[in-house]
Chain A
């Protein structure tokens, strides 16, 4: 058994918490785990990619190109940027909400959501688009977008942990006063997959 998951997004979206929660859930299922991300200067509104690996025997923490089983995208353009990691026929669950970088405001570069959407649809084995910003807003806090995405991911059949295990590992990593809101975000993420 071996599962490789890539999470892509922008600094501040909570991809580190999401990768830890996935790893903890897999550890609960008795698997070895590795996670990796670059922390530091890259975090300030820059692109952030987390790698999460789980399995019986693992070596390094970096997922090779075109080996990831799943790509969880927290930001549309960043999902495209991380696409090289996804294996042929792999599954993408991505937010289609966007974070437009300052370079675009200044006219130095371009942001074309429609082109990104079409490109992802063409390349993915299976793809689900979610409005992470809208769903997390409904959960009561836009910062719970990462947990919405985990909730959505937990509906995937054949994962080496139960949805409750993933939810528990999320709840164990947030302060008490935020548990309810995160539980709601997780549940709304699950529901969004049913209709998607």
Chain B
């Protein structure tokens, strides 16, 4: 064994490799992406297969197929990705698996980088699948290994559900030096049990329900639940996942005494350790992020066993149900619970006013040019710009103000279509990225053609999946493991969907792209404009621009129309800074021609 500094996501990948994973599939999404990225890096050397799939449903089905053929398979996604994969997941619980199948689904309480704060443990309960909730990166690695064994024992997919503070926290983690290559999988055996007919479902449902109890029994002995008894204390605290860390540290800081049950297997909750705690105390506080998943089960256990213990947590509003927990929040909860005077230091007198610093599109980002072009082309039209999930959601921020809606992956096209049904005389323009187009954009586009929606779809093709860390997609000629044999051309794809008006332009070429935008907006029926230009994080800058102070009239148009972080106005004088990427868009819109390329 050796010790490495690993991010939780990396630790999960190490665990999977140590468990002999044979097939890995994923669609990126913060905070989950590095699990698969790490697997992909190790795949060739360790001799297993890894793919970035086009979406989470596809990824789960690929992993399920591999499991049917006897391989150990891992699929990774973020919590909202599981919504996309929920169709196969719900049925797969009834069908079951052969090779161990582990879903890593990263939750994002806060949220830091997500549309929802949904709790995947609830999803596990809904799908009737066991869920593991790691407290630290080191535990996440152990859980990944355990999850494969559990999956094969129960013949069910198992969900490993880290949260952001495990995914993106680093820790000194012990890993195995020598990992034996996995055995050849036994292969797919034909059997009616793989065909989900209603009669099979009716037979499998009682089995699936019985497996809940089998899983619960397995969890009774799992090393991830730990009861630390404090003799003489009448208070017990139950903490799930990362909350355990906050509870321990808050107890230390306050000097409070309590028996603590650490829970790593929240669904189904093993009764043994919980009852042991409940029988020794009068009051129990349940601390967990998001939904009262453990708390509800503790209440049920208490009721069924006729125990006179008062359970506190989310139902009496002590523990917040929204947002992320941390030591400070948990400390305040403990103090309130134990009726201590709150030590939360009074907020200091407000300091100087700080600048508003939101994330924005990078200097030179081609999306900025695309939004500028459509803002200009649609001037005076009162058009609706529907947006989607990716860096370009940041087009919503001033001064671009070019995103009027954002719902979920692929919804730009379909929301535009829906608005078009109500306001057929108003222009709707849908913006989505290349990877998002492949993910869930295509069915919406076919639907727009089939049902003839008069909308313009702008595909912001920056040749990567930028927001989540530059993963490849089918349009690039690259896979997770190297060069791809074929690429899927977005323009031809749009034509194949039946779109009659398809133009592909370079957003840096404001004139040609502006013309295409204008034409697309005037075109009756669905039109597609592909704004093709590589993400600036991937393409080396070749030049940069500067303001010629002699000809600059300080009109401020470059700043106010583009909002580029490279352009500043210290003391009212416009300057272009070192972070200029050299896209030249500001030079092209400058009415005084005062922005020049630096030779």
What is A's interface to B at a CB cutoff of 8 Å?
A: 10-11, 19-20, 23-24, 27, 32-47, 59-62, 64-66, 77-78, 80-81, 83-84, 100-106, 108-112, 115-116, 119, 123, 142
Contact = CB atoms under 8 A, between A and B. Distances in A.
A45 B245 contact: no
Interface in B376-435: 391, 393-394, 398-399
Interface in B135-164: 164
A100 B171 CA distance: 34
Interface in B217-265: 242, 244-246, 248-249, 253
B5 A24 contact: yes
B224 to A, nearest CB: 16
B560 interface: yes
A157 B399 CA distance: 47
Contacts of B358: 46, 101, 103
Contacts of B5: 20, 23-24, 27, 33
A34 B168 contact: no
A42 B359 CA distance: 6
Interface in B158-203: 164-165, 168-172
Interface string B563-599: 1110111100000001000000000000000000000
B355 interface: yes
Interface in B321-365: 326-328, 331, 345, 348, 351-362
A23 B170 CA distance: 9
A38 B31 CA distance: 9
Given A33-B172, A105-B569, 11 more contacts: A32-B172, A33-B170, A38-B110, A38-B113, A39-B30, A40-B112, A41-B467, A46-B360, A103-B358, A106-B563, A108-B398
The SS class assigned to the B binding surface is loop
A160 B31 CA distance: 31
Contacts of B353: 109-110, 112
A100 B568 contact: yes
Interface residues of B, number: 56
Contact of A112 (B171, B352, B564): B352
A46 B359 contact: yes
Q: Which of B172, B331, B357 has the most CB of A within 10 A?
A: B357
User: Closest 8 CB pairs between A and B?
Assistant: A60-B245, A40-B30, A46-B359, A40-B113, A61-B169, A59-B245, A115-B352, A109-B356
Contacts of A59: 244-246, 248-249
B10 to A, nearest CB: 12
B301 interface: no
A37 B168 contact: yes
B468 interface: yes
Contacts of B361: 44
Contacts of B399: 102, 106
16 contacts: A23-B172, A34-B169, A35-B169, A35-B170, A39-B113, A40-B30, A40-B31, A41-B113, A59-B245, A60-B245, A60-B249, A60-B326, A60-B327, A80-B351, A101-B355, A106-B399
Contacts of A100: 355, 568, 570
B559 interface: yes
A105 B567 contact: yes
